[in-house]
Amino acid sequence: MRERQKYSKEFKAAIVSKIMNRGDSTVEEVCEAEGVNFRSASNWLLVRGSAPEMKKKTSSRNAVAKKS
């Protein structure tokens, strides 16, 4: 079994910055170029709160049910 990689806060911030400023590249391409697992980078984006399109969306039906 492979040992789990630990990344510094600075490294994570640098990857998030590269993803946020990736231009025409996909997130997958940035991750591959940097040698970072896509899932890890996705989690870092969510923690930063900079990827609203990646957060779970609540359907309008569920939102109405919560108000009742």
Per-residue pLDDT tens digits for 22-32: 999 999 999 99
15: containing domain:
9-52
pLDDT of residue 61: 52
Helix/strand/coil for 5: coil
Number of domains in the chain: 1
pTM higher than 0.95: no
Cβ atoms of 51 and 45 within 8 Å: the answer is: yes
**CA-to-CA dists, residue 29 to 13, 20, 50, angstroms:** 17, 13, 19
pLDDT of residue 5: 81
In a domain, 62, yes or no: no
In a domain, 46, yes or no: yes
The H or E element that residue 29 is part of is: helix 27-34
Per-residue pLDDT tens listing for the chain (68 residues): 777 788 999 999 999 999 999 999 999 999 999 999 999 999 999 998 765 454 444 445 555 555 54
